Amino acid sequence: MTNEQIKEFTLRTTGANDSGLILVLFDIVKVYAGDAISAYMNQDDDAYLRSIRLAKKAHNELMACINPGDELGKKVLAIFRFIYGKLVSSEVKRAPQELDRCIGMLDNLRVGFEKLHSIDTSEPVMKNTHQVYAGLTYGKGTLNESMLGDTYNRGFKA
């Protein structure tokens, strides 16, 4: 994962509600699985294992978001467990065991969660965050981010 992707995920996380955070987790797992595949193709074992481990951690967080109490949650959790098993298998065998297929399954599941997110009107999970507005500057092709709000009045006062 590049620093630019990390900044993008951080920005998305600060303004996301519950369903938006689930979409961010989907994207993080997908990026780490893709990084693992490219590291395997480049024969970089350390980067491959690191990417698989990070994908497993993010996928665990994604599985924790699912309610196993209802019937649909059980079915989605079964698919997530299958994908997690493939991640573990890929780590143990040090080869991407059907990771492309798992990414496709995550993409298919993400469509349903996007629909849920479109009807979710809850407030963002994180409070006391700044709004970030990005716009093109006068520089050639550069993007400048600026924050609005009081930058000195954050957190707790002692």
- Token pair 């954050």 is found at 154
DSSP structure class, residue 56 = H
3-state secondary structure (DSSP) of residue 133: strand
Query: Which CATH code is given to the segment(s) 3-119?
Result: 1.20.120.340
Q: Give the pTM.
A: 0.78
Long-range pairs, 37-43, Cβ under 8 A, ≥24:
37/96, 37/99, 37/100, 40/95, 40/96
Tell me the pLDDT band of 157, cut-offs 50, 70 and 90. low
pLDDT (tens digit per residue) in 58-88: 999 999 988 888 999 999 999 999 999 999 9
How far apart (Å, rounded) are the C-alpha atoms in residues 114 and 149?
30
How far apart (Å, rounded) are the C-alpha atoms in residues 32 and 102?
12
What is the domain partition of the chain in residue ranges? 3-119
